[in-house]
A and B are shown apart, each in its own frame.
Chain A
């Protein structure tokens, strides 16, 4: 198994750093999946009372000027690694104004992802900072748990308001209640609601717009004004919002109520398609 990549463009480096910061805010450990065309950050956190899972996909071409990998085998040309997300974001932080960044899989007494940053220096010699991030290679048997989540057809799908605004609203709400109700309809209306014994606070967002329906099979006869609602843990939502440092081209959220009555809220941020299922 081999992996080697190089980023030389400042903007790409910056973007990659911000993504890793976002991941670091969401989870302590994450899985990095390396395939010939893509890099994925995956988090699977199945808790009893509604866990969070996250799937983030990057097209490697958009970031790396050089990218070589050899996966586990020819048929399974992928690499799955588990690492502490903070290590990666800290390593990348060094690279803020770097000339180049190289990242590769190495085995220096323990398997690690070596991030090597070439810094600008006043003198003629280069200054290099190297970070060896310890990793665990995930055996092939466990790969099936880390596949791209199936995005089921939602009942309601809506574009989110400016995330910064949403974040400040949710932050204030966190002080009052630990659970939040997210309601949305196909008419571009989104409500964030908290209810306690003493008080009920709702923030209404209007004219948000809905993305076109994915498939014909979703109930056409649904009243567009009818709200689909989902109860979620406010802290998880805040974690997601706080981590958003990448300015998305679109952010949307989908409600889904499946047959067993289980409700899912899917938040999708598109610059790199980050799915977060709450």
Chain B
């Protein structure tokens, strides 16, 4: 029986009986301390928003109280996205990572369970005064208690699993390209994209304009092309823009939106560090009380770079990544579809049928064709740790380090993926 949080309301009936712990091997049993932290005021909503943001990425939340603060991390099932929030001790009214002399705790919770505590942000803002998160080394429950108005107290006992620390190996300082802008600017920039859009390409065009373009995987079977949306931002919108023209990456927009909505609500600046296509892109937000990192895999290149500055080839030909908003008056320079029309009319005349030619019959200048079938871009080192993983995305998985020793030991870039110690298999 572990200590119960003071003031907890518990029934006395059979349902209150503490469930037996599943047969796990807990080698640290007895040496593990307790964690306790108390969040008050508007920080409760910030914490809630962070959890919402993390829930866009993965299904499991790794909660680890460190000396530097409380860290909440998650990774997606294909290991192509990793997210981490670190809340400094000052974020909390009270923060105790562990009882003195005891080992730090680490636990893994179902994201759905943790999210359900913070489900309604409106409710958090309006009624919750304090939030207390505690974890007793001997108990099998993570207790989250919301102290609300009018003396209402909501206690959530969440079961968790012991786990290893989840660490992704990345270093923003190693990335040659950096962009920094208020989250609001980026939020406005992604508005024109359809909410269902999976991937987006971010690149630097001519004149240092930052371009975001919707990315659609080429589907040889589909006759219906998707609409392509492109948003162009000026250099002035960014507080920091350190990138070469022509640099571009393609990443998952849905995952990025998770961090973006958090950063917008907290009114923070968002920093994007990126490298060559295929290398992970790092999105960060920071203020004095918290630190957020989202590391997303990017699409790697199959074709070689074209010689033109400002253009980037992919496995399907795309228009050059240049600004459309050049100040000179539009002319019809690239509007000429007469040649297309001639070809079309000729085809119909020959066949004598009413069928329209397929759209690909473009006699215009053909960019170098890449092989029709999607090329193998799967990373050889990407094992599918979870059976029944969603259809393989053409992303490289991130490399994770495995931490068995206590936090503080240096991590080399070892290509070993973190293994969850799922005792029950």
User: CB within 8 Å of B: which residues of A?
Assistant: 1-4, 72, 84, 87, 90-91, 94, 102, 104-112, 116-119, 121-134, 136-142
Contacts and interface: CB of A to CB of B under 8 A. Distances in A.
B360 interface: yes
A74 to B, nearest CB: 14
A84 B188 CA distance: 25
B359 A131 contact: no
Given A109-B362, A110-B359, A142-B354, A2 B335 contact: yes
A102 to B, nearest CB: 7
B332 A109 contact: no
B191 to A, nearest CB: 7
A7 to B, nearest CB: 14
Interface of B: 185, 188-189, 191-192, 194, 224-237, 317-319, 323-325, 330, 332, 334-338, 340-341, 344-345, 348, 354, 356, 359-360, 362, 364, 367
Contacts of B235: 125
Contacts of A137: 337, 340-341, 344
Contact of A125 (B228, B236, B319): B236
Given A123-B234, A130-B324, 10 more contacts: A84-B227, A102-B330, A107-B334, A107-B362, A108-B334, A124-B234, A127-B188, A131-B192, A134-B225, A134-B227
Contacts of A122: 185, 237
B337 A105 contact: yes
A23 B323 CA distance: 31
Contacts of B354: 141-142
B348 A111 contact: no
Contact of A90 (B194, B332, B341, B348): B194
Interface of B is mostly: loop
A110 B330 contact: no
15 contacts: A94-B191, A104-B330, A109-B317, A110-B359, A116-B325, A125-B235, A125-B236, A126-B234, A127-B189, A127-B232, A127-B237, A128-B232, A131-B227, A134-B224, A138-B356
B225 A110 contact: yes
Nearest to A133: B227
A204 B317 CA distance: 60
Contacts of A112: 228
A176 B364 CA distance: 56
B341 A1 contact: yes
Given A1-B337, A129-B231, A139 B348 contact: yes
A118 B325 contact: yes
B335 A127 contact: no
Contacts of A119: 188
Nearest to B347: A139
Given A91-B227, A133-B227, A137-B344, A123 B237 contact: yes
A140 B185 CA distance: 46
Contacts of A124: 234, 236
Contacts of B236: 123-125
The 8 closest A-B pairs by CB, nearest first: A125-B234, A134-B225, A128-B325, A123-B236, A107-B337, A132-B228, A129-B192, A94-B192
B227 A136 contact: no
A106 B345 contact: no
Contacts of A104: 330, 335
